Amino acid sequence: MEDREQYVRYQQDRTVLETIGACLDLQVSRISVRLPRSLAELAVAAWNRDELGGIGEERREEYELRDDAAELALIGLAVSERGVRDGAEVVVDLDVVQVAAALRAAR
């Protein structure tokens, strides 16, 4: 049988990470960001788009793509609800989860 001790440690690490997340959640909820207006409009378009096709069996890569598209749509929702135009930019308070998703996608 394969040695899987590291996964026990990884589970313990995840528990610590979750606890840190719970502490941070009480401190940080939204971050004010500035987006180029063209990107903000693309995010709003993603929110307004209707996906008519059903979701069948997905490969992991397809699921991740769909998940990223959903994060973009949620940013679009935030822009449409509370975004404020400021010249060529839009200022909007985003949930830290949305900021993290965008940063993760950029890497």
| Dihedral (CA of 60, 66, 72, 77) sign | negative
Beta bridge partners of 36: 89
Taking the CA atoms of 59, 61, 63 and 66 in sequence, report the sign of the dihedral they define: negative
**Amino acid identity, residue 75?**
I
The amino acid present at 93, given as its one-letter code, is: D
pLDDT in tens, 27-78: 988 999 999 999 999 999 999 998 877 778 889 999 999 999 999 999 999 9
pLDDT in tens, 71-97: 999 999 999 999 999 999 999 999 999
SS3 for 35?
A: strand
* pTM of the complete model: 0.81
Q: How far apart (Å, rounded) are the C-alpha atoms in residues 95 and 11? A: 26
